[in-house]
Amino acid sequence: MIFDILKKRRSVFPVQYNDSPIVKEDIEKILAAGNWAPNHKCTEPWRFKVIQGDAKKKIGHFPI
């Protein structure tokens, strides 16, 4: 099973991004997987931020 997972792993690059929203359930699964990820000498807790919608534009805007 682990070998199948490793073989199917793929990188995603910015040019492949699109504007399709991610379903809330998928985001929750991703965050749950992150909580189970290995950590270095128990340096938990993890902190995740999900930024969606107009907030994505605001966070990347830097007035000159």
Angle at 30 between CA 26 and CA 31, to 5 degrees: 115
Residue 47 lies in a domain: yes
Q: Is residue 18 part of a domain?
A: no
61 in a domain, yes or no? yes
- pLDDT (tens digit, 9 = 90+) per residue, 2-13? 888 888 888 888
Which pLDDT does position 27 carry in this prediction?
Answer: 94
> pLDDT tens across 24-64, in order?
999 999 998 888 877 777 776 778 889 888 888 888 777 77
Task: Tell me, rounded to whole angstroms, the distance of Cα 6 from its chain centroid.
Answer: 18
Residue 16: inside a domain, yes or no? no
Check pLDDT > 80 for residue 18.
Answer: yes
Closest Cα to residue 39, out of 49, 28, 47?
Answer: 47
Q: Is residue 55 part of a domain?
A: yes
Tell me, what's the pLDDT at 62?
75
Tell me, yes or no, whether 4 lies in a domain. Answer: no
The whole domain housing 64 covers 23-64
Q: Structural domain tally of the chain?
A: 1
Say what the pTM is: 0.60
Task: With respect to residue 35, please indicate whether it lies within any of the assigned structural domains.
Answer: yes
> Is 30 among the domain residues?
yes
